[in-house]
Amino acid sequence: MSKMDTLQVFLAAQADLVRYATRITGDPAEAEDVVQDAWLRFRATANARTLEEPNGYLFRIVHNLALDRQRRQGRENRIFVGGATVATELVSSDQPSQQAHIEAKDELAILHAALEKLPVRTRRAFEMHRFEDMKLVEIAQALGISKSQASELVIETVEYCKKVLRRRH
């Protein structure tokens, strides 16, 4: 069978092949892809040997390719779609547990109480640095002390808070 004969057989049957593949796949776009793949296989086979029933052979190729795609799609759906809900349930949440939330709330209350016991200037230096994101130079200027004194006050408060929390545990 010549290349022109092969092409003519294919073109004559193309619309019927697409309808046939659509019935199997349920998707016209997928059916078009199946028919294109079938053309490539049909042409390669027709060039290699003589076909007794080229139309029947072409429909068999479309049938097999459409079923293969349908099976593959079913496997992919089971693996990727059906398994997705199971997989997402196994992923841990980035939210803290209720216990961690309660422990953090308790620690915060302890730290607030501990900070209340500090001298006002020491507490204020720490609050400016940690809660207001002020630089040590700005803290020193606001409190009328040196930068090294501001640094010492912040460091002392951090160490004090660590000590309070260690005693708790």
Cα distance between residue 123 and residue 112, in whole Å? 10
**Average pLDDT rounded to a whole number, residues 146-151:** 93
DSSP structure class, residue 117: T
Q: Is it the case that residue 150 has pLDDT exceeding 60?
A: yes
CATH number attached to the domain at 3-90: 1.10.1740
Q: Where in the chain is the domain with CATH 1.10.10.10?
A: 98-168
Say if residues 65 and 38 touch (Cβ distance below 8 Å).
yes
What confidence tens digit (pLDDT) does each residue in 31-89 have? 999 999 999 999 888 888 888 888 999 999 999 999 998 888 888 877 776 555 555 66
Helices (H) and strands (E) in the chain, counts: 8, 0
CA angle 82, 84, 90 (to 5 degrees): 125
Q: Where in the chain is the domain with CATH 1.10.1740?
A: 3-90
Helix pair 28-48, 54-76: axis angle to 10 deg: 130
Q: Which fold has domain 98-168?
A: Arc Repressor Mutant, subunit A (1.10.10)
